[in-house]
Structure 1
Amino acid sequence: MKIDIFETLEEFEKIREDWDRIYFEDPEAHLFLSWQWLQKYLSHRHRWFVLALKQDGDAHYCAFLPLKVSTYQDEKTKLFCDEIRMAGNYGADYTGFLCRPGLEDAAADAFSAYIGRENWTTLTFDYFYTASSRLDRLLAAFPQTEFSQTSNERSNSDNIDNTICPYVTLPESWEAYLATHMSAQTRQKLRRFMRMVEASPDYRITHATSETIERDLDTLFRLWRIKWAERKGSKVDRLITLTREMLLDAFNQGALDVPVLWYQDRPLGVIANLLDRQKKTVLFYITGRDEEWTTPSPGLLLHGFAIRDAIAEGYRIYDFLRGNEAYKYSFGVEERRIRSMLVRTLSGRNLRNCLNPRSIEHVYERAVELHKQGQLDRAEPGYRQVIHTMPTHTRARYGLAQLFDDKGEHDEAEYLYKGLLATMPGAGKIQHRLGDSQMAQGHYGEAAETFEALLARHPLLSLVRYKLGVALCATGRGEEALSVFTSFEDILSDDPDHMRCKLKAHDAVIRLRAALQGQQDEVPEPAQTPVSNASPPRVLVSPKRTLDASVRLPTAPPLLEPSLPAGISAHLQARPSKPGETRSRIKH
């Protein structure tokens, strides 16, 4: 057996022929595993991938498992954890994998072996048919001696069991359906209501067209919101947005029916039914109804007409999907059950302590966002995990270095900046920050060397020029500092940063000249030790150079304050930068 991985829509397009063939052959296939539904659904999603199984010597695929990765941050450890789940969640009421009959166990074994080589903390198998052996075969690869396995059924405040999925097996005719699936009382009521609607000019049922689909979905979700907004809380808008997106995709593919019951110009109820013509199944997905209207029942009428139409069009199943709401049982349903299982590593961390490769950029971007918000304790593990998983990720190293600066741990920042410069010697923005970190530690001689080297390559960096003068002052090299400050007069620029630094330099020149003149007028004391221009040699060794995200870093010692002639400020404030950007922010 061989597994290929597909992660783009272009690749997904190429396997459609094999996918459709297996979909037709697989008795457990359903709409939410169809190529058509998944193609649209995945086009709005990220970090999904499809496992495609092929037997040795066979040119065609024999099984497919669509998956996706999501990532969350553990509130206790602050570590980012990856979850692998079924790709259709949470738009799909059923999931699973497609397979040619007779290869189910071999496919499950191959898929689970591949999943075991991925990095994840949580593996979620949602909405598998209970009658199928496929889920048990997948779970067998993750023994409870090494993983925890728990039910992932979600509670429902209305006491609705969402593991029960009622459905109707449709007979050949509408009359046969009424005779075999409904009680005499319900059958009589439905006939009477349907005659009323068909005979009265005040009642009508419309079906969404390209001209009315937006209006009809607006009506559906307006009515749905009235009933569910309080219980769904803050999730309601996102649920509506995602569901509407999926329904519109289905409509544009010709796979959605939206009947609306009207009384005059008042909509009484709307249902949205997904259509699987290949499996001859109608799937009732969502409804909205006027809760103030009682008779005739909009729900009974809409489902009654929909079932009658489905029988006339040759459909064989009318599926009410998840939930054992009482009204569904008026239509003579059978039940199928589904189950959901959660597999979790015993450590509560990703396998191999590495991020899933599909999550590296996501975690980096999340770390940057947390850094911007000032949540340094939450951002730091993200940077560390990215670096641990991908040591060459320079942006994460740069972000972590900036975070150390923000924490006052400038020795750690310096260590990281120097490491970056070893591989990117021309990165001027990193060299600028290196000089800032050296200044913050009181290593002014080294900072002066750093700024001088940077200025030699980029002579128009006014802020670096000013900082070089400050560093030279701090090492007692007043004449050299004076030369740097006066050099601003030789540069013509109307750049705001340059003008600001030039004004600062002008002030520094006045005060520095006064200080130097004062030193010449003083009588030196015989015992005075001459000032050394050179900084003592320093070996930079990071006590925290291991980038294990779980290590807690000790607090840095207090910073040394620079010793400068009176009146020259070492606190020139640049515009604040954002983590991950290259603008400099001086911290000393």
Structure 2
Amino acid sequence: MRIEVIETQDAFAAVRPHWDDVFMADPHAQHFLSWIWLNRYLGHRRRWFILALRDGGPDGRYLAFFPLRLQTRQNADGIFVDEIIMAGNFTADYTGFIARPDHESQAIAGFTTYLKRQNWMQIKFDYINGPPERREAMIRGLQGPDVMFRNIVPRNEQNIDNTICPRIALPDDWDTYLEQHMSGQTRQKLRRFLRTVEGGDEYCITMATKDTIERDLDILFDFWRTRWKPVKGAEKTEKLVRSSREMLEDCFADGNLDVPVLWHGERPLGALANIIDRQKKAVLFYITGRDETWKTPSPGLVLHGYSIRRAIAEGLRTYDFLRGNEPYKYMFGVEDRQISCTLFRTRSGLNLGNRLNPRSVRFVYEKAIDLYHAGKKADAEAGFRQILDVMPDHRGAEFWLANILFEKGRLVEAEASYRALLPRLRDPVAVMLRLADVHLARHRFREAADLLSDICRRAPLKTEARYKWGVALLADRQVREAARVFAEACRNHVPGDDATDALYAGKARDALARVAYALEPAPDPAFYPARFAAGDRPPPMLH
């Protein structure tokens, strides 16, 4: 057996038949681990990877899949550390892996062995679905002298235990459900409410269609905001709305979402979003919103009762209230199911192996550039050095680190880095320009002028290079030649060019204005920038 890693949408698409086979064979598999749900969800995200266990041989069948994602942050010491999380975290109520039952132990052994060889500071097994034996086997596989773990029971603002998941095993008919799962009082109330809603024109329940889905989700999330914004805060509320709505719209596009809305005339009273797991014949109640000012009939009781009756009629086998032991769920005759959250963390607080995860190189590179531009150059330097520790030939990190060395005045080291980069680049202009800066800083003006002249031959419209060429010539006392180069920089600049070109074109105009008046004999008027054509005197000094 061997572990393969799936990291692209094309590779994920190619394994769909195998994924569906494993999914249907695993009695603990659920919709958030289905191929159809993950396909759209992962399409919106970066840095995911899937571990796949296969039989030996090139055509070995797939035995298990474990979808994961990578996150990276910078700690208080400026060191980037990596965290592996479940692929569906922050949107999926359940996570975990899928496996053929007769290969579950081999899957756990293969997955944990692979993960122990990776570079990470933390692994979060949040909301793992399946029997306790799975979690315990994962703990045994991952723990060791360098890794500690603890179990977590996440609770929300109302102290709800999110590892308890109430659900209903649906019987074959509606009357049996009412008799076996509801108290007499609740059963009587639900029947009366449904008769009220369905027996006249005052109330109605609509189901979302392609023409109404946007409206119906607007109704649901507007109600949800009203209820939870004071509790969760505006920023967190909107973040949850965006991620939840994106996922629900994907489910609807795949034909796997029901959104019943209860109306009183033209007034919406409440809405549910129920994900339909057609492979496992389950309804997953994901989110609800209701008019908090409306008392009776209860929108929640009516809509859940209506949805349960509909699910039974369609032959579905489970109505799952997903995470959380909120009291209202228990009026529907549920049974609790336990899921688990386990946090694994290195004892050092750093990545295993004290190295950046190779999958994080691109992320850290982009983040380090952002830090550099934000003026946090020590943090940026730490990131570039971590990249080079993992990938010594990363030319981008080497270039930016050389720039930081230059700015620190470590000119010899910066020059060595720039020179080492030059023969390895298809387009060396950017590095040549920085090397010219080193020459200027070390007062090697002739070398700088020669190099900048070469750059301008390669990139005639590079205004920065032409301006600095003029500076080098001026410092080398070639004043008339410097004036000619400054004039070319002014003429070559096209309005609307990027900000850097515009900046250096302005510098060239200022320099030319100062140099031109110092020339003897006076240059041709074509040398003069337009703003001094009327005879205004420029400032007396060249800066």
Alignment TM class, shorter chain as reference:
0.7 to 0.9
Paired residue secondary structure (1:125): strand
Identity among equivalent pairs (%): 46
Instruction: Find the counterpart in structure 2 of residue 249 from structure 1.
Output: 250
Superimposed CA distance per residue, residues 424-465 of structure 1 (whole angstroms, 9 cap, x where no aligned partner): 49623222222223433xx202x4313313314525566545
Instruction: Find the counterpart in structure 2 of residue 222 from structure 1.
Output: 222
Instruction: Find the counterpart in structure 2 of residue 508 from structure 1.
Output: 515
Instruction: Find the counterpart in structure 2 of residue 552 from structure 1.
Output: none
**Structure 1 segment 216-365 matched on structure 2, within 5 A:** 216-233=216-233, 234-365=235-366
Q: Which letter maps to 2:438?
A: S
**Structure 1 segment 74-153 matched on structure 2, within 5 A:** 74=75, 76-129=76-129, 131-153=131-153
CA–CA distance in structure 2, aligned partners of residues 394 and 266 of structure 1: 61
CA–CA distance in structure 2, aligned partners of residues 302 and 315 of structure 1: 17
State the Cα distance separating 1:31 from its structure 2 match: 0.7
Mean CA deviation greater in 425-434 or 254-263: 425-434
1:494 corresponds to 2:499: no
State the Cα distance separating 1:409 from its structure 2 match: 4.8
Change (3 A) 1:457 1:433: closer
1:485 corresponds to 2:482: yes
State the Cα distance separating 1:330 from its structure 2 match: 0.2
**Contact 1:380–1:400 at 8 Å: present in 2 too?**
yes
Change (3 A) 1:499 1:6: closer
Superimposed CA distance per residue, residues 515-537 of structure 1 (whole angstroms, 9 cap, x where no aligned partner): xxxxxxxxxxxxxxxxxxxxxxx
Change (3 A) 1:432 1:324: same
Instruction: Find the counterpart in structure 1 of residue 368 from structure 2.
Output: 367
Extract unaligned runs of 5+ from structure 2. Answer: 494-503, 522-538
Paired residue secondary structure (2:438): helix
Structure number with larger C-alpha Rg = 1
Instruction: Find the counterpart in structure 1 of residue 164 from structure 2.
Output: 164
CA–CA distance in structure 2, aligned partners of residues 451 and 133 of structure 1: 72
Q: Which letter maps to 1:60?
A: R
CA–CA distance in structure 1, aligned partners of residues 245 and 466 of structure 2: 57
Instruction: Find the counterpart in structure 1 of residue 43 from structure 2.
Output: 43
Q: 1:448 aligns with which of 442, 446, 449?
A: 446
Q: Which letter maps to 1:484?
A: E
Instruction: Find the counterpart in structure 1 of residue 402 from structure 2.
Output: 401
CA–CA distance in structure 1, aligned partners of residues 277 and 326 of structure 2: 23
Change (3 A) 1:16 1:189: same
CA–CA distance in structure 1, aligned partners of residues 451 and 439 of structure 2: 14
**Contact 2:99–2:107 at 8 Å: present in 1 too?**
yes
Change (3 A) 1:499 1:50: closer
1:392 corresponds to 2:415: no
CA–CA distance in structure 2, aligned partners of residues 172 and 424 of structure 1: 69
Paired residue secondary structure (1:102): helix
Q: Which letter maps to 1:96?
A: G
Paired residue secondary structure (2:141): coil
CA–CA distance in structure 2, aligned partners of residues 272 and 458 of structure 1: 62
State the Cα distance separating 1:182 from its structure 2 match: 0.9
**Contact 1:462–1:498 at 8 Å: present in 2 too?**
yes
Paired residue secondary structure (1:315): coil
State the Cα distance separating 1:356 from its structure 2 match: 2.0
Paired residue secondary structure (1:5): strand
Between Structure 1 and Structure 2, the one with more helix by share is 2
**Contact 2:439–2:447 at 8 Å: present in 1 too?**
no
Instruction: Find the counterpart in structure 2 of residue 576 from structure 1.
Output: none
**Contact 2:371–2:377 at 8 Å: present in 1 too?**
yes
Paired residue secondary structure (1:211): coil
State the Cα distance separating 1:92 from its structure 2 match: 1.0
State the Cα distance separating 1:379 from its structure 2 match: 1.9
State the Cα distance separating 1:274 from its structure 2 match: 0.7
Q: Which letter maps to 1:324?
A: N
CA–CA distance in structure 1, aligned partners of residues 464 and 301 of structure 2: 75
State the Cα distance separating 1:103 from its structure 2 match: 1.0
**Contact 2:470–2:486 at 8 Å: present in 1 too?**
no
Mean CA deviation greater in 17-26 or 448-457: 448-457
Q: Which letter maps to 1:313?
A: E
Change (3 A) 1:463 1:264: closer
CA–CA distance in structure 1, aligned partners of residues 231 and 406 of structure 2: 45
**Contact 2:47–2:359 at 8 Å: present in 1 too?**
yes
Change (3 A) 1:416 1:102: same
Change (3 A) 1:512 1:345: farther
**Contact 2:50–2:65 at 8 Å: present in 1 too?**
yes
Q: Which letter maps to 1:36?
A: I
CA–CA distance in structure 1, aligned partners of residues 483 and 474 of structure 2: 14
**Contact 1:444–1:472 at 8 Å: present in 2 too?**
no
CA–CA distance in structure 2, aligned partners of residues 44 and 26 of structure 1: 26
TM-score by structure 2 length?
A: 0.88
State the Cα distance separating 1:174 from its structure 2 match: 0.9
CA–CA distance in structure 1, aligned partners of residues 267 and 171 of structure 2: 34
Instruction: Find the counterpart in structure 2 of residue 154 from structure 1.
Output: 154
**Contact 1:29–1:98 at 8 Å: present in 2 too?**
yes
Paired residue secondary structure (2:280): coil
Superimposed CA distance per residue, residues 245-296 of structure 1 (whole angstroms, 9 cap, x where no aligned partner): 1111111111111111111111111001111122111110000000001111
Q: Which letter maps to 2:415?
A: E
CA–CA distance in structure 1, aligned partners of residues 486 and 128 of structure 2: 76
Change (3 A) 1:452 1:505: farther
Mean CA deviation greater in 150-159 or 213-222: 150-159
1:428 corresponds to 2:435: no
Change (3 A) 1:252 1:428: closer
Superimposed CA distance per residue, residues 464-491 of structure 1 (whole angstroms, 9 cap, x where no aligned partner): 45545655665xx54xx23532544995
CA–CA distance in structure 2, aligned partners of residues 425 and 452 of structure 1: 20
**Contact 1:488–1:502 at 8 Å: present in 2 too?**
no
CA–CA distance in structure 1, aligned partners of residues 82 and 255 of structure 2: 36
1:21 corresponds to 2:21: yes
Mean CA deviation greater in 379-388 or 100-109: 379-388
CA–CA distance in structure 2, aligned partners of residues 69 and 165 of structure 1: 27
State the Cα distance separating 1:130 from its structure 2 match: 6.0
Aligned length, in residue pairs: 511
CA–CA distance in structure 2, aligned partners of residues 430 and 506 of structure 1: 30
State the Cα distance separating 1:401 from its structure 2 match: 2.6
Paired residue secondary structure (2:102): coil
CA–CA distance in structure 1, aligned partners of residues 436 and 369 of structure 2: 22
**Contact 2:487–2:509 at 8 Å: present in 1 too?**
no
CA–CA distance in structure 2, aligned partners of residues 493 and 211 of structure 1: 58
CA–CA distance in structure 2, aligned partners of residues 341 and 49 of structure 1: 20
Extract unaligned runs of 5+ from structure 1. Answer: 515-565, 572-588
CA–CA distance in structure 2, aligned partners of residues 492 and 95 of structure 1: 60
Paired residue secondary structure (2:392): coil
State the Cα distance separating 1:353 from its structure 2 match: 2.6
Superimposed CA distance per residue, residues 527-559 of structure 1 (whole angstroms, 9 cap, x where no aligned partner): xxxxxxxxxxxxxxxxxxxxxxxxxxxxxxxxx
CA–CA distance in structure 2, aligned partners of residues 42 and 63 of structure 1: 18
**Structure 1 segment 504-543 matched on structure 2, within 5 A:** 504-505=511-512, 507-508=514-515, 511=518
Superimposed CA distance per residue, residues 50-71 of structure 1 (whole angstroms, 9 cap, x where no aligned partner): 1111122563211111111111
